[in-house]
Amino acid sequence: MKSEYITIHNAIHAPEQTHVAIHGVALPISKAANGCRYVDYYDVDQKVTIRFIEQNKKKALSPYAKRALAGEKITWGMRPGNWILIDKSTSRLNPFQQQLQQISEQL
């Protein structure tokens, strides 16, 4: 289980936070051109940078956008060829997230 992922997820959805501390390093919470908050995190175990970004609420046809508009905190973690969905009720896994099978239990 990657507690860092949960920490980043929570920070992205806390509007007052401008940084998130992971292992003593302050990572900036940036804003994408579409207005979504995100954090780029280098996962040393996987040796890859993962971009964690909040669900874009402006994607009209997306059921995830509808959930986010209703107040649900939804975060996507993306790296080339893989992704993870973090939300309150489930985590949907792609190959890089085997260690996150129980992520929703910690939210």
Predicted confidence (pLDDT) at residue 104 exceeds the cutoff of 80: no
Residue with token string 């920490």? 7
pLDDT tens digits along 11-22: 999 999 999 999
Task: State residue 92's pLDDT score.
Answer: 54
pLDDT at 76 over 80: yes
Range 62-82 average pLDDT: 91
Q: Which helix (H) or strand (E) holds 91?
A: strand 91-93
Contact present, 37 and 53 (Cβ < 8 Å): yes
Three-state DSSP state, 25 = strand
The pLDDT > 90 percentage for the chain reads 59
